[in-house]
Chain A
Amino acid sequence: MSDFEPRIVAFFCNWCTYGAADLAGVSRLDYPPNFRVVRLPCTGRLNPKFIMEAFKRGADGVWVSGCHPGDCHYIAGNYHARRKFVLMHQLLESIGVEPDRLRFSWISSAEANKFQAMARDVVEHVKACGPNTTFRKEDLKLGLAEVA
Chain B
Amino acid sequence: MPALTDITNKIRESAKKLLASGQAEVVIGYRQGTIPMTTSPFFARTADECDLLVWSNFARINLANYLPGRAGKVAMVAKGCDARSAIGQVTENQILKDNLYIIGVPCTGMIDTNLVVAKEARPIREVVETADDSITVKGQGFSTDIKKDEVLRRNCKTCVNRTPKLANELVGQEVNGAAADDFADIKALLAKTPAERMGYFKDLIKDCLRCYACRNACPLCYCPVCFVDETRPQWLGKSTDPMDTMTFHLLRGLHCAGRCTSCGACETACPVNIKVREFNRVMELTVQNNWNYEPGLSWDQKPPLTMFQTDDAADFIK
Contacts and interface: CB of A to CB of B under 8 A. Distances in A.
A and B touching (Cβ–Cβ under 8 A)? yes
Interface of A: 48-49, 52-53, 56, 69-70, 76, 79-80, 82-99, 103-106, 118, 134-139, 142, 146-148
Contacts of A92: 250
Interface string B251-276: 10110010000000000000000000
Assign chain B's interface to a size class.
Answer: 35 or more
Contacts of B130: none
B201 A96 contact: yes
Given A90-B286, A94-B190, A136-B243, A76 B317 contact: no
B234 A147 contact: yes
B199 interface: yes
Contact of A135 (B198, B200, B317): B198
A12 to B, nearest CB: 14
Given A86-B286, A96-B201, A137 B195 contact: no
Given A90-B286, A91-B279, A148-B233, A96 B254 contact: no
| Interface pairs A-B: 8 shortest CB-CB | A96-B198, A96-B197, A79-B308, A90-B286, A104-B317, A95-B201, A96-B194, A94-B282
Given A95-B250, A138-B241, A139-B241, A85 B317 contact: yes
Given A76-B308, A147-B234, A97 B286 contact: no
B310 A146 contact: no
A90 B189 CA distance: 13
Contact of A83 (B250, B305, B316): B305
B93 interface: no
Given A56-B247, A91-B286, A86 B314 contact: yes
B202 to A, nearest CB: 8
B254 A91 contact: yes
